[in-house]
Amino acid sequence: GAGVSQSPRYKVAKRGQDVALRCDPISGHVSLFWYQQALGQGPEFLTYFQNEAQLDKSGLPSDRFFAERPEGSVSTLKIQRTQQEDSAVYLCASSLVVSGTDTQYFGPGTRLTVL
Amino acid sequence: RKEVEQDPGPFNVPEGATVAFNCTYSNSASQSFFWYRQDCRKEPKLLMSVYSSGNEDGRFTAQLNRASQYISLLIRDSKLSDSATYLCVVNAGSGGSNYKLTFGKGTLLTVNP
């Protein structure tokens, strides 16, 4: 079946531009997560949705980062006024239920480069 | 201290070798433990969950020592296709934030012919 998909796969932005990254989770998955993975590092948690509710945004690095999931399915991560330190791979993951033991399935990521 | 620390690597081993990865975590409330595998420029994929009793899946064996807050992964008879980065992952603990996963930096394994 279809896995988690993300678009675009690659994005190059000039410093100061706004970007929007899209995530299509596995159909029926309640939980959706965004992670940021810098080069040579493991993924770092950004934010968590249970259906349309954003229950945890503790990992968002600044108020330039904003995420939404208005209908409880597709999610968008928006970064305003991009900075060079925002360059990273942004990974989306979904899981069927809300549980610490439930497998999180990752999308291929969006590689963002800010020039 | 970082929340999840792994062997820095990289590991270069010949085919057929046995290789062990070690990981320590700082949050004693963590309840769930995993090893993920990440191929170059790909997404992380769950390799196996780790249970207190230890568990095995073919050539892969995972162990957990809660008292020492230590997790290990052993790969026997390594194959070329095992070449990847191995990520140690723990959850935030019990309660409302147990969905939150913390990843180690990863250890790169290259299996050579």
Q: For chain A, say whether B27 makes contact (Cβ under 8 Å).
A: no
pLDDT at B96: 67
User: What is the reported pLDDT for B95?
Assistant: 65
The DSSP-derived string for B33-74 is EEEEEE-TTS-EEEEEEE-TT-EEETTEEEEEETTTTEEEEE
**Is the pLDDT assigned to residue B73 strictly greater than 80?**
yes
- Distance from the Cα of B44 to chain A's closest Cα (Å) equals 6
CB interface of B with A, residues 28-57, below 8 Å:
31-32, 42-46, 49
Nearest Cα of chain B lies from the Cα of A14 at a distance, in angstroms, of 23
Instruction: Output the pLDDT for position A9.
Output: 97
Q: Do B102 and A99 touch (CB under 8 A)?
A: no
Name the band, by pLDDT with cuts 50, 70 and 90, for residue A97.
Answer: confident
Print burial letters for B94-104: b (CB count within 10 Å at least 16), e (below 16). eeebbbbbbbb
Distance from CA of A17 to the nearest CA of B (A): 25
pLDDT the model gives residue A1:
58
Residues on chain A touching B89 (C-beta within 8 angstroms): 42
* pLDDT at residue A8 in the model: 97
Question: How distant, in Å, are the alpha carbons of A82, B25, B92 from that of B47?
Answer: 34, 18, 19
B32, B97, B103 ranked by CB distance to A56: nearest? B97
Residue-wise pLDDT tens digits, A3-61: 999 999 999 999 999 999 999 999 999 999 999 999 999 999 999 999 999 999 999 99
Could you read off the pLDDT of B8-35 as tens digits, one per residue? 889 999 999 999 999 999 998 888 899 9
